[in-house]
């Protein structure tokens, strides 16, 4: 049951043409497939048996070259249909029956929105639940799809490519549509939708002057929420032309929004299918974070048309080939559309809290994994986010221009092919002339490298040295790691805060003040000439490599960088490092039972941040935000959640008191502006609301009745969900019980028709660190707004409790763990993919003390005793080792 990269072999047969006919009927769906198959000339001699993947299919008939095959001439089991071909080329036809209305796994063909629509999700291996096929990405075929369904219930029939024909069915109550996709594609990019939806239509003229029709389909009640997605799509299409020279290739591009979806969205050729949570955005029903997510995901799926579809993956071990590259592309797009610094801070935060934890836990795997039981378990932060960091490092090492030449070469060389991560790096190598052999270790070695840096100033020689030492902890598949290529972007700041010219020993002259220096050895020193006093280094600017940097900055140096670093990311990073150190003091004090002592230096530094008029609101908001509990966990050897939580709460209260007048003045001024400015989804507005809400969050920690009044005003009067939800969060976590209950009740009444907004309502309550939250969560599982069959609901309630509410999840009696294990068991019977994702917090036990570890592991052991899906089984068994 373990699939290994080293076992890869090319397919024995290819499928040149795939004709599918779907008959969608109430209680069952018939799928007829006509496959034009040919022996793969690259696969060797003879005519081996043909084994087509197929699962949960009722096989009704098989025909070979038009002749019905008697059952003795083929074999079917749970996974395959096997046939012995007699010629090099032949036509195989099958007819199967499937049951989409019973498909709660949301993989293959299923019904969403309580049966009101049919849709598909085939990546990675869902197509085998639709028909017998060579379900692997290196088998690419031209698809024609004919769909027949009830005319009244499903007026809209969609598939990939172009609509060729439509009309009445044989049966008068039915109709049909015939679609043809001219581009050969692997079956994971197949899609079908049958529904009754509204449509928003627009058009895009490509750089070569072709007209593309753009259609976004959603339920009628959602259609006024798709405008932002349409705008984002057009921006993404233009950006991909301008930045990568990539033009869209069909006359039609469609997006369909569905309620029930395991992931964010899917890049099916010409017919993207989206989770509503990544498509719908309206000021009154979506937060600023949702607006940004929609823009990013719409772009991501669109960008896949080249990085994923035109050039696809040879096998699923290469998943990061398309995902890492495409995440890198969408991040650059978002950075260009909004604030690049804020975008980078958000991405690095996710990487350092979640991906680093994955890399340090029992499920650590390389960006290109070498084995799996269930590929769905590898749509991970490592493959996506760390994979994007790897591409980003190539970009910094090569420079933007050379990187673009590399990507042009990659697309030209491999258009229409299914390739590997090595092919991608090879194109970069060929375009740049740089040897990237060592760089490729990023794809094969798991674990987060540590980079320890020490500065040494030689006054007499006017030299400054940086001594680098890199190491990487062992992981399951590899104990001894070879050194990585770590691009360190850096500058040296002199006492006034200006950057010094960088003149490396051996160079004829200084070259710039900010440079990318590749660290390639386990131990390596870099020497700078003509440095007349000891500088403060600004290291790993923009987080130029996914490593744990360790440089012994003094708190004064961090304050200095907070004021002077020209790199926005590092400037905020200095503030975060200072807060981190101060919080770590408090955590130790709490653990030792000694009195709280918050370093006044932090208060002074934040006062300066709040009074610096030149500092942008976005920067102020970021610098004021304390490191999250998740990051404090990540930074601890053994995390004591109780101490972490209370230390952080103490710091928040203490800072709120100390900064009260400044925070209040700033809050009032920002809320005033928000009140008088119509909503816009722009970086400037996002920043204003972020700072305003950060200030409100602090102020609500103080006992100031005027603040409560202000919070209630913002809750009741603001015209957008970002302000309203932030006020609700502040109320829910406050001691104002009556106001909290009233606000929750009025919110629920106002938004009951908006499930995505109600997800926010569920999440706010599940995230409250107050005692009794677990009971509340159990109660909410019976609320009308909750539905375990819908992944968004499950994540909002159960996921928020286990990921956002560390204090309650890690209760010493193990009740949080037991709750999660129970939920996973229940959900696993319905939806293995989402159950497996939900399990993650239980696999992070290494960070906790023995008592907590034992409790977490005993829940994993209890799960292991149950009858589990392959998905959950793989995670549980690997976690237990």
Give contact residues for ligand ARG (rule: CB under 6 A).
121, 123-124, 262-263, 265-267, 300-301, 323, 376, 379, 833
Specify the residue, 123 or 859, whose C-beta has the smaller distance to ligand ARG: 123
Instruction: Tell me which of Zn ion, ligand ARG, none is bound by residue 432, counting a contact when its beta carbon lies within the kind-specific cut-off of 5 to 8 angstroms.
Output: none
Measured from the CB atom, is 332 or 586 closer to ligand ARG? 332
Nearer to ligand ARG, 124 or 561 (CB): 124
H or E segment at 131? none
Q: Which does 263 bind (CB under 5 to 8 A by kind): ligand ARG, Zn ion, none?
A: ligand ARG
Q: Which does 833 bind (CB under 5 to 8 A by kind): ligand ARG, Zn ion, none?
A: ligand ARG
CA-to-CA dists, residue 396 to 324, 392, 433, 649, angstroms: 15, 6, 15, 39
Say which entry of ligand ARG, Zn ion, none residue 123 contacts (CB below 5 to 8 A, set by partner kind): ligand ARG
Q: Closest separation between CB of residue 227 and ligand ARG, Å?
A: 22
Active site residue 301: yes
Is the four-CA dihedral 415, 421, 424, 429 of positive or negative sign?
negative
CB of 262 to ligand ARG, least distance (A): 5
Nearer to ligand ARG, 376 or 576 (CB): 376
Burial environment of residue 581 by CB neighbours within 10 A (0 to 12, 13 to 18, 19 or more): middle
Query: What dihedral angle (degrees, nearest 10) is formed by the CA atoms of 239, 240, 242, 243?
Result: 100
Partner residues linked to 516 by β-bridges? 489
- In this structure, are residues 35 and 93 in contact, taking their beta carbons and an 8 Å threshold? yes
B/e letters for 692-730, b = 16+ CB within 10 Å, e = fewer, are bbbbbbbbbbbeeeebbebbbebbeebebbbbbbbbbbb
For tokens 């680098």, the residue is 468
| Residues 319-348, mask of contacts with Zn ion (x by CB under 5 A) | ----x--x----------------------
Q: Which of 476, 469, 567 is nearest to 516 (CA)?
A: 567
Tell me how far, at minimum, the Cβ of 380 lies from Zn ion, in Å.
Answer: 12
Residue 197 touches which of ligand ARG, Zn ion, none (CB < 5 to 8 A by kind)? Answer: none
Q: Which is nearer to ligand ARG, 121 or 445 (CB)?
A: 121
Say how many CA atoms lie within 13 Å of 578 toward its Cβ: 28
Least distance to Zn ion, CB of residue 322, Å: 6
Q: Rounded to whole angstroms, how far apart are CA atoms 635 and 646?
A: 16
Q: Are strands 192-195 and 156-159 parallel, antiparallel or unpaired?
A: antiparallel
Nearest distance, CB of residue 267 and ligand ARG, angstroms:
5
CB of 375 to ligand ARG, least distance (A): 8
User: Is the Cβ–Cβ distance between 670 and 681 less than 8 Å?
Assistant: no
Shorter beta-carbon distance to ligand ARG: residue 568 or 832: 832
Instruction: Note whether 820 and 809 are within 8 A (CB).
Output: yes
Active-site hit among 301, 499, 629, 859: 301
CB of 747 to ligand ARG, least distance (A): 31
Contact set for Zn ion, span 601-660 (CB under 5 A) = none
CB 263 to Zn ion: min, Å: 9
State both tokens at 515: 């440079």
Q: What is the DSSP letter of 122?
A: -
Q: Give every CB contact of residue 362 below 8 A, 6+ residues apart in sequence.
A: 476, 843, 846, 878, 879, 880, 881
- Of 323 and 499, CB closest to Zn ion: 323
Task: Report the residue number whose CB is nearest to ligand ARG.
Answer: 263
Binding-site size for Zn ion (CB under 5 A) equals 2
Backbone angles phi, psi at 193, to 5 degrees: -135, 135
Per partner kind, with CB cut-offs from 5 to 8 A, the member of Zn ion, ligand ARG, none near residue 262 is ligand ARG
Tokens of 553: 């900055």
Q: Are 315 and 249 in contact (CB under 8 A)?
A: no
Among ligand ARG, Zn ion, none, what does residue 567 contact (CB within 5–8 Å per kind)? none
Cα dihedral 145/151/152/154 (nearest 10): 0
Would you call 706 helix, strand, or coil by DSSP? helix
Nearer to ligand ARG by Cβ, of 19 and 123: the residue is 123
Active site residues: 301
List contacts with Zn ion (CB under 5 A): 323, 326
């Amino acid at each position: 049951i373990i699939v290994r990269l080293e076992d890869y072999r090319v397919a024995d047969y290819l499928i040149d043409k795939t004709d599918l006919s779907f008959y969608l009927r109430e209680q069952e769906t018939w799928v007829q497939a006509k496959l034009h198959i040919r022996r793969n000339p690259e696969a060797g001699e003879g005519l081996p048996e043909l084994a087509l993947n197929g699962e949960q299919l009722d096989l009704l008939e098989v025909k070979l070259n038009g002749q019905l095959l008697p059952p003795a001439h083929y074999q079917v089991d749970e996974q395959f249909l096997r046939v012995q071909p007699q010629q090099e080329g032949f036509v195989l036809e099958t007819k199967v029956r499937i049951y989409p209305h019973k498909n709660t796994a949301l993989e293959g063909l299923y019904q969403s929105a309580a049966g009101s629509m049919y849709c598909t999700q085939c990546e990675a291996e869902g197509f085998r639940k639709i028909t017998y096929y060579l379900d692997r990405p290196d088998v690419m075929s031209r698809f024609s799809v004919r769909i027949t369904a009830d005319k009244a219930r499903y007026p809209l029939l969609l598939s990939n490519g172009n609509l060729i024909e439509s009309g009445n069915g044989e049966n008068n109550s039915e109709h049909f549509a015939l679609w043809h996709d001219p581009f050969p594609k692997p079956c994971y990019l197949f899609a079908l939708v049958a529904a009754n939806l509204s449509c928003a239509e627009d058009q895009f003229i490509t750089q070569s002057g072709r007209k593309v029709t753009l259609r976004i389909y959603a339920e009628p009640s959602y259609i006024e929420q798709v405008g932002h997605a349409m705008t984002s799509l057009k921006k993404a299409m233009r950006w991909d032309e301008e930045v990568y020279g990539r033009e869209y290739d069909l006359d039609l591009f469609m997006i369909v929004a569905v309620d029930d979806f395991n992931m964010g969205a899917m890049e099916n050729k010409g017919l993207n299918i989206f989770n509503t949570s990544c498509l719908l955005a309206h000021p009154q029903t979506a937060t600023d974070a949702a607006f940004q997510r929609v823009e990013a995901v719409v772009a991501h799926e669109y960008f896949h048309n080249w990085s994923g579809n035109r050039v696809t993956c040879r096998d699923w071990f290469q998943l990061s080939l398309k995902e890492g590259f495409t995440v890198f592309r969408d991040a650059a797009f978002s950075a260009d559309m909004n604030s690049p610094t804020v975008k980078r801070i958000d991405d690095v935060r996710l990487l350092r809290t979640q991906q680093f934890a994955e890399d340090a836990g029992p499920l650590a795997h390389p960006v290109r994994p070498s084995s799996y039981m269930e590929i769905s378990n590898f749509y991970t932060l490592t493959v996506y986010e760390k994979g994007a960091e790897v591409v980003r490092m190539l970009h910094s090492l090569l420079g933007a221009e050379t990187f673009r030449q590399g990507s042009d070469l990659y697309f030209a060389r491999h258009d229409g092919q299914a390739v590997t991560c090595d092919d991608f790096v090879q194109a970069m190598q060929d375009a740049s002339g740089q040897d990237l052999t060592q760089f490729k270790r990023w794809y094969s070695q798991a674990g987060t490298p540590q980079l320890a840096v020490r500065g040494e100033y030689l006054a007499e020689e006017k030299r400054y040295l940086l001594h680098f030492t890199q190491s990487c902890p062992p992981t399951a598949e590899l104990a001894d790691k070879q050194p990585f290529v770590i691009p360190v972007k850096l500058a040296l700041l002199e006492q006034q805060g200006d950057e010094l010219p960088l003149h490396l020993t051996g160079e004829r002259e200084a070259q710039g003040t900010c440079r990318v220096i590749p660290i390639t050895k386990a131990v390596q020193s870099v020497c700078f000439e003509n440095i007349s006093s000891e500088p403060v280094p600004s290291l790993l600017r923009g987080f130029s490599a996914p490593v744990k940097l360790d440089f012994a900055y003094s708190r004064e140096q961090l304050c200095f960088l907070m004021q002077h670093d020209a790199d926005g990311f590092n400037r905020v990073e200095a503030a975060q490092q200072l807060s981190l150190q101060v919080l770590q003091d408090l955590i130790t004090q709490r653990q030792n039972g000694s009195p709280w002592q918050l370093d006044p230096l932090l208060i002074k530094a934040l006062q300066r941040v709040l009074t610096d008029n030149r500092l942008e609101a976005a920067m102020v908001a970021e610098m004021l935000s304390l490191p999250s509990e998740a990051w404090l966990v990540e930074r601890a050897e053994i995390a004591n959640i109780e101490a972490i939580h209370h230390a952080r709460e103490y710091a928040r209260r203490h800072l709120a008191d100390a900064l009260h007048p400044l925070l209040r003045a700033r809050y009032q001024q920002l809320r005033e502006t928000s009140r008088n400015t119509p909503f816009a989804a722009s970086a400037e507005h996002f920043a204003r609301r972020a700072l305003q809400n950060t200030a409100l969050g602090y102020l609500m920690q103080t006992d100031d009745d005027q603040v409560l009044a202000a919070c209630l005003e913002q809750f009741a009067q603001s015209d957008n969900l970002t302000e309203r939800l932030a006020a609700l969060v502040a109320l829910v976590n406050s001691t104002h019980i009556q106001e909290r209950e009233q606000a929750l009740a009025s919110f629920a009444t106002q938004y009951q028709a908006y499930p995505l907004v109600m997800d926010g309502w569920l999440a706010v309550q599940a995230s409250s660190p107050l005692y009794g939250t677990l009971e509340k969560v159990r109660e909410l599982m019976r609320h009308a707004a909750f539905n375990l069959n819908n992944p968004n609901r499950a994540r909002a309630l159960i996921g928020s409790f286990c990921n956002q509410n560390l204090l309650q999840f890690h209760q010493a009696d193990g009740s949080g763990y037991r709750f999660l294990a129970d939920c996973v068991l229940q959900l696993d019977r319905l939806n293995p993919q989402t159950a497996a994702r939900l399990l993650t917090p239980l696999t992070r036990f290494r960070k906790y003390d023995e008592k907590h570890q034992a409790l977490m592991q005993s829940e994993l052991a209890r799960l292991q005793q149950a009858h589990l899906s392959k998905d959950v089984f793989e995670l549980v068994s690997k976690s237990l080792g």
